[in-house]
Amino acid sequence: MADLTVCVGNIPFANPVIAASGTFGFGREMRNFQNLGRIGGICSKGLTLLPRDGNPAPRVAETASGMLNSVGLQNPGFTSFLANELPFMIDLGCRIIVNIAGNDPEEYLEMCRRLDATSVDAIELNLSCPNVKEGCMLIGSNPEMIEKLVAAARQVTKKPLWAKLTPNVTSIADMARAAESGGADAVVLINTLLGIAIDRKLRRPILRNNIGGLSGPAIKPIALRMVAETYRAVSIPIVGVGGIMSGNDVLEFMIAGATAVEVGTANLIKPTACQDIIDEIRAIMELDGVSEVGQYTGTLELWNG
Ligand X SMILES: Cc1cc2nc3c(=O)[nH]c(=O)nc-3n(C[C@H](O)[C@H](O)[C@H](O)COP(=O)(O)O)c2cc1C
Strand, helix or coil for residue 62: strand
CB 143 within 8 A of CB 99: no
Q: Which residues pair with 131 in a beta bridge?
A: none
Cβ within 8 Å of residue 253, ≥6 positions away = 223, 224, 227, 240, 244, 261
Query: Is 89 among the residues that bind ligand X (CB under 6 A)?
Result: no
Work out how close the CB of 94 gets to another protein at its nearest, in angstroms, rounded to a whole number.
Answer: 16
Number of residues that bind another protein (CB under 8 A): 36
Cβ proximity to ligand X, 180 vs 262, nearer residue: 262
- The listed partner (another protein, ligand X, its own copies, none) that binds 299, CB under 5 to 8 Å by sort, is its own copies
Which one of residues 32, 170, 235, 304 is an interface residue with another protein (CB under 8 A)?
Answer: 32
Cβ proximity to ligand X, 54 vs 105, nearer residue: 54
Cβ within 8 Å of residue 129, ≥6 positions away = 46, 73, 101, 136, 137, 191, 213
SS3 track for 274-296: HHHHHHHHHHHHHHHCCCEHHHH
CB 44 within 8 A of CB 97: yes
Q: Comparing C-alpha atoms, which of 96, 77, 92 is closest to residue 162?
A: 96
Query: Is 84 among the residues that bind another protein (CB under 8 A)?
Result: no
Which one of residues 244, 251, 255, 274 is an interface residue with ligand X (CB under 6 A)?
Answer: 244
Segment interacting with another protein, rule: CB under 8 A, options 2-10, 91-99, 138-146, 261-269: 261-269
Cβ proximity to ligand X, 100 vs 236, nearer residue: 100
> Cα–chain-centroid distance for residue 61?
21
Cβ proximity to another protein, 69 vs 166, nearer residue: 69
Our answer to whether residue 7 is catalytic in this structure is no
Q: Which amino acid is at 92?
A: L
Work out how close the CB of 236 gets to its own copies at its nearest, in angstroms, rounded to a whole number.
Answer: 21
Calpha distance 132→145 (Å, rounded) = 18
Query: Is 230 among the residues that bind ligand X (CB under 6 A)?
Result: no
Cβ proximity to another protein, 191 vs 297, nearer residue: 191
Segment interacting with ligand X, rule: CB under 6 A, options 49-57, 155-163, 211-219, 285-293: 211-219
Sign of CA dihedral 46, 52, 53, 54: negative
SS3 track for 149-208: HHHHHHHHCCCCEEEECCCCCCCHHHHHHHHHHHCCCEEEECCCEEEECEECCCCEECCC
Query: Is 23 among the residues that bind ligand X (CB under 6 A)?
Result: yes
Please report, as ranges, the residues that interact with ligand X according to CB under 6 A: 20-23, 45-46, 69, 71, 73, 99, 126, 129, 164, 191-192, 215-216, 219, 241-244, 263-266
Please report, as ranges, the residues that interact with another protein according to CB under 8 A: 22-25, 28-30, 32-33, 45, 53-67, 69, 71, 74, 216, 265, 267-272
Give the residue numbers marked as catalytic.
Answer: 129
